[in-house]
Amino acid sequence: MKKITSVNDFVIKFANVNGSGSASANQMFAKGIFRYGVPVSPKNIFPSNIQGLPTWFEVRVNDKGYLGRRAGIDIAVPMNPQSYNKDIAEVNAGGYVLYDSSWKRNFNRNDITIIELPITSLCIAEFTNPKQRQLFKNLVYVGALAYLLDIPKEIYIKLIKEQFIGKEKLIAPNVKAFNIGFSYAKKHFQGLCDIKVKKSNLTKNKILINGNEAAGLGCVFGGATVCAWYPITPSTSLAEGFTRYCNQFRVDQVTGKNNFAIVQAEDELAALGMAIGANWNGARAFTATSGPGISLMNEFIGLAYFAEVPVVIFDIQRGGPSTGMPTRTQQSDVLLCAYASHGDTKHPLLFPADPKECFEFAALAFNLADRLQTPLFILSDLDIGMNDWMVPELNWDNFDEFDRGKVLDAKALDKIDKFGRYQDVDNDGIPYRTYPGTHPKKGAFFTRGSSHDAFAAYTEDGVVNAENLSRIKKKIDLSPNYLPKALTKQDRNFSEIGILYFGSTEVAMQESLDLLAKDNKPCDAMRIRSFPFGEEVWNFIDAHKTIFIVEQNRDAQLKTLILAECKTNHKKLKSILCFDGSPITANFISLSIKQHLGNKTLKKVARK
């Protein structure tokens, strides 16, 4: 048997029972590697359940910065007998299994190295409290792994100390558990494992953060003061993150009062209604939800669209349709969000690719919504939202006043003759608005979802209403002027094949391109960051013979949006679709594209 030998390049997968405290230990394991300067990407694959069902935790370690999911496991840590079979089957030949050998087991694979760590026995021997015996199991294997992989134990001891700030009593037993594993490994496992972690400086100025946390903070920087939400996986932690940062940064030091209001609404309809009410009244407000919430919000979305009330809506996508797979990832709400609500509508969407962009887009979204006076969606997903990603440090430079878009205050109202809420004054389709209570005589108007004229008066004149609808269309058609532009991987196109993709697929793309290039199939790639699409997207499509559109859904929803704009030939568009709820892998992308291309060798030629 040839053992897998590698430095700073492997995938390790933990299999646990949920509710057993494993996630935090596994997270600590990953963070230790990160602290050691080596890029990691942890993925928590958890059930829609609180306690007792199988849960997995996958960590990819890769110093080339390939941090997308990679199929095939190099090291398995199966702690859940329920899923042993599946877990062991996934291990690559030459790989390693570290298991709790308190109950010995024959895994019937002689192409892998089985490492026997009697975790339960060690815990029983060292701890008396049954709860502790259970809980500390996780740290025992972390300790053993640290030894096996060559990660200095000090890193973990420091992490343990930090984790229990305020609960210092817990530090000692945790450290003890870690040491049990470490020492046992040192004694018994020497030379067993040829996979190693080597100190590096690749995580400098990087942080390990999940997208919901980052988005919550982004909302604070975006000037959001009102958040109305309803709990739903995987968006809950966004509202919770916002709450935490508000409590940290937004409580008035003198009065102890809150410069924010966060409402756990009775449902998603109410959540969006509150956010709309607050925005209408001049506060920056948002809601965060997932697919089922978007479905429920459809009516209110149409109201905000037609009455032109800005509002920011986060959709942390999960596996649909219906209740679907609440704890798995997908990009399958794209179409619904783009055209949400009955009647003719179209909504700007932002597609952040990682937690850093969640932070940035969250903050930006409030400017954009105010500017465009329309509901604006940020389509993140469970993978970005709930997993820790390694990204550059968050950065903020703009301490100017927020850009509230076209709002008239009392002074501005005094200057104008007659205020027309829905007039196209600047020929950009964007009208001026006023907040309630601004002026005793001027600027009041009636916001409504029923047909209205340029002065917000109710009208049943179909032509007047059609004019207003056309102005709104113009506003949305021009919105790419304000939205984040698509980005390319290459400075200059050089291939006849272009890849379009968006969102969390980003993390797998560089690796996909490298794999394709290695196979003589160099491709260009562009990441779409917003809808409606800007000119750069059409140019990219035009510049290539074939376009692969990579999506994490069944029905090629982004491709549908591209086709719907009626600007490109359908024949050149090919879909690469992954919708099994796991984050898409570079292997899947590159293999799918290779399959399409067959034996063809592509040349790198500079293109327009």
- Which residues lie near ligand TPP (CB under 6 A)? 230-232, 268, 292-293, 296, 323
Residue 457 binds its own copies (CB under 8 A): no
Distance of closest approach, residue 434 Cβ to ligand TPP, in angstroms? 26
Between 460 and 491, name the residue whose CB sits nearer to ligand TPP.
Answer: 460
Residue 253 within binding range of ligand SF4, rule CB under 6 A: no
Query: Please, what is the minimum distance in Å from the beta carbon of residue 438 to ligand TPP?
Result: 29
For other proteins, give the closer residue by CB, 402 or 494: 402
Cis link prior to 352 (omega < 30° from 0)?
A: no
What CA–CA distance (Å, rounded) separates 86 from 378?
Answer: 36
Which range in 372-380, 430-438, 570-578, 584-592 contacts other proteins by CB under 8 A? 430-438
Backbone angles phi, psi at 48, to 5 degrees: -85, 75
Nearer to other proteins, 110 or 395 (CB): 395
Amino acid of residue 431: P
At closest approach, how far in Å is the CB of 231 from ligand SF4? 13
Per-residue HEC secondary structure of 248-275 comes to: HHCECCCCCCECCEEEECCCHHHHHHHH
Instruction: Map 165-196 to HEC letters.
Output: CCCHHHHHHHHHHHHHHHHHHHHHCCCCCCEE
| Cβ-based nearer residue to ligand SF4, 51 or 253 | 51
Smallest separation, CB 129 to other proteins (Å): 18
Cα–Cα distances in angstroms (integers) from residue 4 to residues 11, 82, 112, 336, 494, in the given order: 11, 26, 9, 45, 36
For residue 25, give Cα distances in angstroms to 20, 125, 131, 250, 514.
10, 21, 16, 32, 33
Closer CB to ligand SF4, 326 or 431, in the complex: 326
Q: Which is nearer to its own copies, 138 or 290 (CB)?
A: 290
Amino acid at 435: Y
Residue 381 contacts residue 551 (beta carbons within 8 Å): no
Question: In the bound complex, what is the minimum distance in angstroms from residue 49's beta carbon to ligand SF4?
Answer: 8
Query: Which H or E element spans position 300?
Result: helix 291-307
Residue 330 makes contact with its own copies by CB under 8 A: yes
Which DSSP string do the residues of 511-566 spell out, in sequence order?
Answer: HHHHHHHHTT---EEEEE-EESPPHHHHHHHHT-SEEEEEESSSS-HHHHHHHHTT
Contact between 546 and its own copies per CB under 8 A = no
DSSP character at residue 585: B
Decide whether 50 or 606 has the Cβ nearer to ligand SF4: 50
Assess 110 for contact with ligand SF4 (CB under 6 A).
no
* Of 88, 220, 288, 378, the one binding other proteins by CB under 8 A: 220
Residue 479 is classified by DSSP as G
Q: Which is nearer to ligand SF4, 50 or 165 (CB)?
A: 50
Q: How far is the CB of 69 from its own copies (least distance, A)?
A: 12
User: Quick one: 560 exposed, middle or buried, by C-beta within 10 A (0-12, 13-18, 19+)?
Assistant: middle
Out of 166, 191, 440, 598, the residue judged to bind other proteins by CB under 8 A: 440
> Which positions ≥6 away from 18 have C-beta within 8 Å?
46, 47, 49, 50, 51, 52, 53, 54, 55
> Cα-atom radius of gyration of the chain, to the nearest Å?
27
- In the window 264-293, what residues touch its own copies (CB under 8 A)? 290-292
Does residue 329 contact residue 289 with C-beta atoms inside 8 Å?
no
For residues 510 and 422, what is the distance between their CA atoms, to the nearest angstrom? Answer: 46
Rounded CA separation 84/89 (Å): 8
23-62 residues in contact with other proteins (CB under 8 A) are 34-35, 48-53
Stretch that binds its own copies, among 257-265, 510-518, 523-531, 564-572 (CB under 8 A): 564-572
Please select the residue that binds other proteins; options are 115, 139, 193, 226, rule is CB under 8 A.
Answer: 226
We find the least distance from the C-beta atom of residue 266 to its own copies, in angstroms, to be: 14
Position 294 contacts its own copies (CB under 8 A): yes
Is the CB of 248 or the CB of 450 nearer to its own copies? Answer: 450
Residue 560, contacted partner among ligand SF4, its own copies, other proteins, none, CB below 5-8 A by kind? its own copies
Interface region with its own copies, contact rule CB under 8 A, candidates 36-44, 46-54, 212-220, 589-597: 46-54
CB of 53 to ligand TPP, least distance (A): 15
Asked if 51 is part of the footprint of ligand SF4 (rule: CB under 6 A), the reply reads yes
Instruction: Please say which residue, 130 or 231, places its beta carbon nearer to its own copies.
Output: 231
**Which residues sit opposite 524 in a β-bridge?**
498
